[in-house]
Amino acid sequence: MVKESSLIRVMGVWGLAASIINVTVGGGIFRLPAAAAASLGAGAPIAYLVCAASMGLIALCFAEAGSRVAMTGGPYAYVEVAFGRFAGFLAGVLVWLLGTLAVAAVSTIFADSVGALAPRLDGAAPRAFLLVAIFLLLAGVNIRGVRQGVILNVVATVAKLLPLLLLIAAGLLVIRPGNLAWTEGPPAGAVARTSILLIFAFSGIESALVPSGEIKDVGRTVPRAIFVAMIAITLLYLALQSVAQGVLGSDLGSQRAPLAEAAARVFGPWGRTLLLVGATVSMFGYVSGMTLAVPRALFAFGRDGFLPRQVGAIHPRFRTPHVAIALQSAIICALAITNGFEKLAILANLATLILYGACCLAAWELRRRGVQTGGPPLRVRGSGPIPLVACGAILWLLTSVTRQEWAVAAGVIAVASLVFLATSGRRAGARMTAPDA
């Protein structure tokens, strides 16, 4: 069995915060302002605040669980320590599944965006070549070391945020106050529906925390990085929504590329190009960040015997889970070349909410048992009922899930359960030989 201590703990607060921002602020923010405005008009910021409050509760649970469990695997490890190997395995499947589907979907949009900017790269063959080249590059960077992966994430985060921050700075000078005025308060039902849509614009913590075995001083780093990232993301989204609404007014809800259109009105035609390039860089940054994070779930499966032991191997020179990185990159690349996001979006969204609920319950159980594996855990005064309140918010969101969506989730859980039973012998053997590993 691979020893967790073989991994190098080098990720600090700013590196982890950049990773969370990187995998959270993706291509969706370049479209979301229009969807929010179409539903709520100038009252759209309310939905962002409702969504941020819900995610804040969930983030507190992630922060506490992450400060108590220092193992690689993130939510997979939190749930396993709290409720046992079977529950942990199912959580790990959800982490891996939603991360894989999301990266494949964003990769597809990324390739299409590059094709729009460079017509010679449009078409099936050039698109496939581009995707293979991108994943070879990202896999190679991350195999060479987590430090290189973190550096690439920080660079990508800065590069994709600069056009957005430039739009905010310049747009604030030309907004029309009348476009931000409310004619009437938005209905509660509309706020709820819009918040459900926007909740996924704040997701990403579950993937960025997967490499917990490579985070130094987990008890301090994880909570601080989450809070830094969540505050930055919320302020960014509110500013972009306000600028887009203030510049475009009633036209915002009908725009397919609202931020690019706002930039065109603020800067001229070159502003549109700048934001389109920014969207492409944003999606590249997302794929880069997930290439660092998601393969660690496969590594954890291999380490614990759910997958062949080779998947949990660590490179003798670079000290990274190189087999998991290569395998994950190949899977995502194949999905991106052959599929679109539409077929898998329902499962990814439902998996996210189920995973969040499991992690909130895990935070409560870990606290009840006094689990502490990474130094002093996070302690927030008055945080006792937060896991239960967060679960209540998640259950409210799940009321919108249809029977067909639940059937898909049940099918995935059934297949995962069969894998768990089928590998019981191998996992028992791995536990018996662990002392000699």
Question: Looking at beta carbons, which pairs linking 329-335 to residues 24 or more positions away fall under 8 Å?
Answer: 329/135, 329/136, 329/138, 329/139, 329/291, 329/295, 330/135, 331/100, 332/100, 332/103, 332/104, 332/107, 332/135, 333/107, 333/131, 333/132, 333/135, 335/100, 335/101, 335/104
- With beta carbons less than 8 A apart as the criterion, state whether 30 and 234 touch: no
Q: Which residues of the chain register pLDDT less than 50? A: 1-5, 341, 432, 434-437
- Compute the radius of gyration of the chain from its Cα atoms: 21
Q: What local confidence, expressed as pLDDT, does residue 121 receive?
A: 79
What is the distance between the alpha carbons of residues 235 and 168, in angstroms, rounded to a whole number? Answer: 11
Q: Is the residue at 260 inside a domain?
A: yes
Q: What local confidence, expressed as pLDDT, does residue 244 receive?
A: 93
How would you class 84 by CB atoms within 10 Å of its CB: exposed for 0-12, middle for 13-18, buried for 19 or more?
A: exposed
Domain that includes residue 373, residue range: 4-431
User: How far from 167 is each of 163, 224, 397, CA to CA, in Å?
Assistant: 6, 28, 32
Q: Is the residue at 437 inside a domain?
A: no
Q: Is the residue at 436 inside a domain?
A: no
Q: Please count the CA atoms within 13 angstroms of the CA of 216 that sit on its side-chain side.
A: 10
Q: What local confidence, expressed as pLDDT, does residue 266 receive?
A: 92
What is the distance between the alpha carbons of residues 344 and 108, in angstroms, rounded to a whole number? Answer: 13
- With beta carbons less than 8 A apart as the criterion, state whether 107 and 134 touch: yes
DSSP string, 169-198: HHHTTT--GGGG--SSPPPHHHHHHHHHHH
Q: Is the residue at 118 inside a domain?
A: yes
Q: Is the residue at 289 inside a domain?
A: yes
Structural domains of the chain, count = 1
What is the distance between the alpha carbons of residues 76 and 89, in angstroms, rounded to a whole number? Answer: 7
Q: Which residue has 């690349």 as its token pair?
A: 333
Both tokens of 253, joined, read 């809800």
- Phi first, then psi: what are they for 186, rounded to 5°? -70, 145
Q: Is the residue at 198 inside a domain?
A: yes
Residue type, position 236, single letter: L
Q: What local confidence, expressed as pLDDT, does residue 2 receive?
A: 47
Q: What local confidence, expressed as pLDDT, does residue 115 receive?
A: 79
Q: What local confidence, expressed as pLDDT, does residue 237 receive?
A: 93
The model carries a pTM of 0.69
What is the distance between the alpha carbons of residues 409 and 354, in angstroms, rounded to a whole number? Answer: 9
Query: Residue 126 sits in a domain of what CATH number?
Result: 1.20.1740.10
Question: What SS3 class is residue 11?
Answer: strand
Q: What local confidence, expressed as pLDDT, does residue 70 receive?
A: 65
What is the distance between the alpha carbons of residues 258 and 262, in angstroms, rounded to a whole number? Answer: 6
Q: Is the residue at 246 inside a domain?
A: yes
